[in-house]
């Protein structure tokens, strides 16, 4: 079985290293790592079409492990692995373990989730996995859970093609369980900080503080607050089918009737 690993925190990230170490403990698993050569957090699903992607292979000393650092985005790395380095599809893709959560509507900006989404677009069972903290992180539990879940996804029909996993940043004995969830909503306040440079030119720094919301119990944002591992199946199709019905029932303007 061939496992493809990637992330958006970069080739040297601790979360990726945790995945590699635990994957090497599984007999019969061949591992390919293709990850950005530097941090590419919040890069979304961007791909590089105006510049070449530089690739550097890293000597791992492990027979079952090949690693490549690429100058592109997380989505680039997945495309490169599947269509450039490999001669066929991997059996499983895991993106992470990300430093910090990827909850609710933040998945639209996440390089971690976008890499897994790219895998699903290419026909590969894919898992995005994140830990809900930015400091003093133990990536072990998240890596173990993502590998076990991902391997189960490859062993039979009926599994989703893409899941987003968020693991609470608590000792494993305090993890309350696993919840199958839907996306919640992430809201922020003080999103931009306005500053002026010594020449009086204005600039803005994007940041913000998360606003706590009373989210329903079945959301990923609520699950994390309850110390549950959230597992959210995602799909590629963003079509609003209710919207299709609503639009079909109305007379829309046509170009030759516009004034």
Q: Cβ–Cβ contacts within 10 Å for residue 144, how many? A: 16
- Alpha-carbon gap, residue 96 to 142, rounded angstroms: 9
Residue 8 labeled ligand binder: yes
On whether the CB atoms of residues 88 and 20 are closer than 8 A, the answer is no
- In 3D space, the residue among 237, 61, 257 whose CA is nearest the CA of residue 160 turns out to be 237
User: How large is the greatest C-alpha to C-alpha distance in the chain, in angstroms?
Assistant: 69
Residues in the chain: 259
Residue 41 labeled ligand binder: yes
Phi first, then psi: give them for residue 167, nearest 5 degrees: -110, 130
Residue 9 labeled ligand binder: yes
Residue 98 labeled ligand binder: yes
On whether the CB atoms of residues 183 and 107 are closer than 8 A, the answer is yes
What b/e string do you get for 183-198 counting C-beta neighbours within 10 Å, with b at 16 or more? bbebeeeeeeeeeeee
- From the annotation, which residues make up the binding site? 8-9, 41, 98
Residue numbers in the known binding site for a divalent metal cation are 8-9, 41, 98
């Amino acid at each position: 079985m061939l496992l493809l690993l990637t992330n958006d925190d970069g080739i040297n990230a601790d979360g990726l290293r945790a995945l590699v170490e635990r994957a090497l403990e599984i007999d019969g698993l061949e591992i390919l790592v293709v990850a950005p050569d530097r941090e590419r957090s919040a890069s979304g699903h961007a791909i590089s079409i105006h510049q070449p992607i530089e690739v550097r292979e890293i000597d791992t000393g492990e027979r079952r492990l090949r690693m490549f650092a690429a100058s592109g985005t997380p989505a680039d790395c997945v495309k490169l692995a599947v269509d450039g380095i490999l001669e066929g599809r991997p059996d499983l893709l895991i993106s992470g373990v990300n430093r910090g959560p990827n909850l609710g509507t933040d998945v639209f900006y996440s390089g971690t989730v976008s890499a897994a989404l790219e895998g699903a677009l290419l026909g590969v069972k894919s898992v995005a996995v994140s830990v809900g903290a930015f400091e003093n992180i133990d990536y072990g539990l998240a890596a173990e859970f993502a590998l076990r879940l991902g391997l189960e996804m490859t062993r039979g029909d009926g599994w989703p093609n893409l899941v987003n996993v968020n693991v609470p940043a608590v000792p494993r004995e305090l993890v309350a369980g696993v919840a199958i969830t839907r996306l919640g909503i992430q809201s922020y306040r003080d999103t931009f900080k306005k500053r002026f440079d010594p020449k009086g030119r204005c600039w803005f720094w994007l940041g913000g503080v998360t606003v706590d919301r009373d989210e329903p119990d079945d959301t990923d944002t609520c699950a994390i607050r309850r110390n549950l591992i959230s597992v959210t199946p995602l799909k590629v199709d963003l079509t609003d089918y209710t919207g299709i019905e609503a639009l079909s029932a109305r007379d829309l303007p046509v170009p030759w009737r516009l004034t």
